[in-house]
Structure 1
Amino acid sequence: MLRLDRQKTKQQLLQNAISLAVGLSSLIHLHNLKSLSSICKFWDSFLIPIILIGEIMKLFLSNYYSFSEMQKNQTNLNKKKQGFLAADKMLAIFIQCAMVVLYGFSCILLGAPVLQDYEKTCILSIILTLLTVSPLVFLLGAGGALQVWFCEKVENIVKAEEVYISLYKYHAIGAILGAWLGSVVVPLDWDSDWQEYPIPNVIGALCGSGVATLISTTCVLYKIWSAFLSY
C-alpha cells in the first residue's frame, strides 16, 4: 500500500495554487494593459508587486507548516533564529542586488542594448531575480540559500522547507528557460508590438514558471491518485 504524507501533499498543492494564481493574475494584468510596452516601465506595471506578493504568501505558508516542526526541535529553532542576524540580512540584500546586475549583464551579452533600454533590462532582471533567487533568500537567508545552490546537503531545515525548496527548483528552472526561449522571437521580422524587447522574455519567464508549476502539480496529483488506487 502506497502511503501518502498528507501534510506534505497539502503544502505542495497550496503552494502550487499560489504560484498558479500569481501567474494567472500576471497574465490578466498584461491583458488589461493598454500597451504591452507598459511592462517595461516601473510605474505603469504591477508585475513586480504581484510576483513579490505571491512569493511572500508562499513564504508565510512554508513558515506556517514549519513552525510546529521547529517547536518540537528547540535546537533547530535556535539555530534558525541565529541564521537571520544583521550580517546575514545584509548579505541577502547584496546577493539579490548582485543577481539583478548579473541578469542584466547576461541580457546585454545575449544582445540587449548596452546604453539604451536600461530600464527594460532592469525590470526583466528584477523579475527573474524574484522568480529564481529571492524565494530561497526569503526562506533560508543568505547562508541557507548559498548552501542550496552550492552544497549537496542543507543544514537545519525541516520537512516543510524541503517541500518549498523542491518546488522552488521547478519554478526557477522554468522561469529561466521560459525567459531564454522568449528571446527567440525578438529578432524575427514580424513587426508586432509584443515582439519588442523585453516583453517576450518577461512573458516567457512567467509562462515557464507556470508550466513548471503545472508539471509539479500533475506529479502531486498522480501520487494522490496512485495512493487512492492502492487502498
Structure 2
Amino acid sequence: MSLVRPRGFKKTVSFTVQPTESQEEEIHPSVSIPGLYTSPLLLPMHHLLIIIGLFKDGLTQNPLRVMVKGALVLLAVQLVYGYVLSVVSGADSNKEKRGKKQSRNFSSHVAKVLVATLVSLLFTPVAFVVLVLFGAPLYGYLAETYILGVHLSLMIVQPLLIIFGMDFEQLYSVAKSATVFKLIFTNPILCSSFFCVLGTWLGVVPIPLDWDRPWQQWPITLLAGGYGGCVLGLLIGYISQYL
C-alpha cells in the first residue's frame, strides 16, 4: 500500500490597514465653505431701498430707463457692500485660523472688491443667454433683458466671488457637493444668491396672467423677484445661524 503524503499548505497572513482620519480626508475631501457671518452690516437693506426707489422712480412707466439708472445705483452700492463683506469675511477667517496672521489691509480689500465686481459684470452676457434660454422674449425686449442680467450678476456673482476669494474651484466643489442645499442654508451669502435665482424664476409667473397691470411688463416682475429673493435668502441664512 502506497502512502500519499498530503501536500503542505502554505500559510499566509494578510493585514488590512484601516485608513486614518487624515487619509480619509484625502480620499473623500471635505467641501471647504466660508464661515458664517453674524455682522448686522450684512443685512441687505440696500436691496429693499433700491427696488422701492425703482418703483417710485417710474419703473412701470419706463422700465428700461429706470432699470439702467437702478443698475448704476446698484453698482455703486455693491462696491461699498462688497468692501464690508470682504472685511467681515476676512475677520471671520482670522477667527477660524488663530495663530496665522493675514495681512489684509484697505488696499487688498478694495482690489478684491473691484476685481469681483468687474468679473461679475463680465458674467452679464452669460446671465443674458440663460434668461433667453429660459424664455425671455427675443423681440422688442433685448435691452431690458440685458440690463436685468446686469442687476442679477451684481447681486449673485459679486458677493460669491468675494467670500470665496475668487477661488472658482472651491465654488465649484460646493455646487457639485452631495450636501449642497445644506451648505446653502448654513451660509447667508450662498442662501441669498440661491433665493435671488429662485425669486427671478418665480417672477415669470404673474406675466401671462390676464390682469392687464402695468407691473406685469417684462421684466419688472423678474427684477422684483430677484431683489426680493436676495433679501429673503440673506435673512433666512442669517437667522439660521442662531438656530
Q: TM-score, normalised by structure 1?
A: 0.67
Which residue, 156, 172, 186 being the options, matches 2:207?
A: 186
Relative distance call for 1:15 and 1:93 in structure 2 (3 A) is: closer
Alignment equivalent of 2:223, drawn from 168, 182, 202: 202
The DSSP-based 3-state class of the residue aligned with 1:184 is coil
1:30 Cα shift?
Answer: 2.7
Report the alpha carbon displacement of residue 51 of structure 1 after superposing the two structures with TM.
Answer: 5.8
Q: What SS does the aligned partner of 2:187 have?
A: helix
Q: How many residues align?
A: 193
The separation in 2 between residues aligned to 1:61 and 1:36, in whole angstroms, is 32
Structure 2-normalised TM-score? 0.64
25-34 or 179-188, which moves further after superposition?
A: 25-34
Q: How big is the alpha-carbon RMSD for the aligned residues of Structure 1 and Structure 2?
A: 3.8
Partner of 2:170: 148
Shift of 1:206: 0.6
- Bigger helix share: 1
**Structure 2 equivalent of residue 66 of structure 1:** 90
Counterparts of 1:39-188 in structure 2 under 5 Å?
39-41=63-65, 45-50=69-74, 52-54=76-78, 56-63=80-87, 66=90, 69=94, 73-74=100-101, 77=103, 89=115, 95-142=119-166, 144=167, 146-152=168-174, 166-188=187-209
CA distance, structure 2, for counterparts of residue 150 and residue 215 of structure 1: 23
In the alignment, structure 1 residue 214 sits paired with structure 2 residue 225: no
Identity %: 21
User: 1:12 is matched with which residue?
Assistant: 38
Aligned residues of 1:40 and 1:119 also touching (Cα < 8 A): yes
Structure exhibiting the larger radius of gyration computed from Cα positions: 2
Q: Is the 2:196–2:230 contact (alpha carbons within 8 Å) kept by the matching residues of 1?
A: yes
Query: Structure 1 residues 25, 47: closer, same or farther in 2, change over 3 A?
Result: farther
